[in-house]
Amino acid sequence: MSILHILQKNTVESLQVLYGQDFSEQDFQVNQTKPEFEGDYTVVLFSLVKRLKLSPDAIGNALGGHLVKTYPELFTGFNIIKGFLNLSVANSYWISLLEKNHNDVCFGKQAMNGKRVMVEYSSPNTNKPLHLGHLRNNFLGWSVAEILKANGYEVFKSCIVNDRGIHICKSMIAWQLFADGATPASTHTKGDHFVGDYYVKFNDEYKKQVSELMEKGMSKENAEKEAPIMQATQQMLLDWEAGEPDVMELWKRMNSWVYEGFDVTYKNIGSDFDKTYYESNTYLLGKKIVEEGLAKGVFVKDPDNSVWIDLTNDGLDRKIVQRKDGTSVYITQDIGLAQQKYEEYKIDQSIYVIGDEQNYHMKVLKLIAEKLGLPNAENIYHLSYGMVELPTGKMKSREGTVVDADDLVDEMIATAKQHTEDLGKVKDFTTEELASLYKTIGLGAMKFYLLRVDPKKKMIFNPQESIDFHGFTGPFIQYTYARIKSILRKETLQPGASLGADLLPLEKEILITLEQYPTIVMQAGREQNPSAIANYLFHLAQVFNSFYAEHSIANAENESKKQLRLQLSSMTANILKSGTALLGIQVPERM
């Protein structure tokens, strides 16, 4: 139990003893004391004034005195400033925490709780390579999965690949028209990039044909429908749905090129899945559920045989769940897949990491699942995140202005190399060690920058800013870790050494920050928000660097003080490594 929870519990018990009433932790606030005041934790008293009909000072004096008298092993003193009760926590508490946990690499992680969660992320299309938006999605989904594991959940990471539909056929038609038999191998091109190039070629040709038809007097609307390349694409989709052998063979062949490319990218960025679903296998799911929904009266059939659900009483609108020709729509597939996930994994919660442009769709999915009585429908959760852009603006894949994930990773590694060489501290590294270091720093910079922002917020990704060794960045944290490891290589930690009883302000500040790590991990899991961990790690690195700039470790005042600072360093390094691992970031032993 954290000192914050202990303090809340003790405050509740003290208030009940003092005033003979029932209290709970919701009746008051406890915060870390502001640096300009004496104390470690502050109880905010204003919410108690009206109920107790006493002044803040009267409540504070009674409560502070009772806490210090009743729990002398925890609290050594208090002061009251304008309605705030500031409590000082005994040094013995902090030193005991350090002695028990300075070498515990599992500090902050919870025991298994018996609950199962599936986190779905990535969801690429097979007509183009992964791009910057996919990177935020992958890093966010992967990190949330790891954070939930740290909170005791059994987690399954899944991906749904959008491998069918008109957009896939566009690349296929363009390849037939323009490739002249070219392949990724023959052109020395990564498979997903190769197929993506033909998606762009389709759009170029389509715009050209539409323009030509409009010059002949056709309206834009009709020209977009009548363009030969679009007509051919729509026919190809019909042929695919009919299982036409030549179309199916080309579809499988081109998708295989894309999957090979995806695999390289996923491995490079450290993203993986326990289960991959394919839309071509799931698009017929849900048809049986539609029949069951009709029988239950959840769905209604219109005169043209299309099937709908009326959600107007729920603040939404009517939603089609089956076309008049009996074919599925996206929501039908998603309903079927939601049930399949539960049947396969018996999950307690299903988390969908999907951009905020799908907020409405996800509301409809959850509502329909609940009305149908699907298992654990109430625990469908949409982890909605804002779009990510570059300083140059939005990206459009059909126009070829998307920043490919592979290109961005390469740029980050090159930027990491430039910044590291400018610092001039890696002259004794081998070529292989340098290559590994540049990748570790480059990927760490990108992941931290994309995860340090609350997922719900839109953001702009600036590659140069993300790699500043002195800013709010991943490399700053990595550098702090490497600095600590360098200290620990030079000095000897002595197990069981006496640490003394005194703590200087910066030593105590580090300990207060270290002690908060388990609470931060729980908060990040509860909110499914990796930025809570990113912000905490940055603060911890700042506090350590302030301490290190002020106090020597190698030339400490005495041996007990040296051992105290070495244990502080060890625990800080362990938490920096543990926390960055939850973000998918590696930390180098030296840099």
Q: How confident is the model at residue 401, as a pLDDT?
A: 55
Q: How confident is the model at residue 398, as a pLDDT?
A: 46
Tell me: pLDDT of 542 over 50. yes
Q: How confident is the model at residue 325, as a pLDDT?
A: 86
What is the mean pLDDT of the segment spanning 339-352?
A: 96
Q: How confident is the model at residue 397, as a pLDDT?
A: 44
With 0-12 / 13-18 / 19 or more C-beta atoms within 10 angstroms meaning exposed / middle / buried, residue 162 is middle
Q: How confident is the model at residue 284, as a pLDDT?
A: 83
What is the mean pLDDT of the segment spanning 290-300?
A: 94
Confidence band (pLDDT; 50, 70, 90) for 554? very high
Tell me: pLDDT of 163 over 50. yes
Q: How confident is the model at residue 240, as a pLDDT?
A: 94
Q: How confident is the model at residue 395, as a pLDDT?
A: 45
Element containing residue 405 per DSSP (H, E): helix 405-423
Specify the DSSP class assigned to residue 153: -
For 305-319, write each residue's pLDDT tens digit. 999 999 999 999 999
Q: Taking all residues of the chain, what is their mean pLDDT, rounded to a whole number?
A: 94
Q: How confident is the model at residue 4, as a pLDDT?
A: 94
Tell me: pLDDT of 296 over 60. yes
Tell me if 521 sits within 8 A of 109, measured CB to CB: yes
Element containing residue 474 per DSSP (H, E): helix 474-490
Residue ranges of domains in the chain, CATH in brackets: 3-89 (3.30.1360.70), 165-271 (no CATH), 411-582 (1.10.730.10)
Q: How confident is the model at residue 390, as a pLDDT?
A: 78
Tell me if 83 sits within 8 A of 63, measured CB to CB: no
What is the mean pLDDT of the segment spanning 168-186?
A: 97
The DSSP result for 503-539, as a single string, is --HHHHHHHHHHHTHHHHHHHHHHHT-THHHHHHHHH
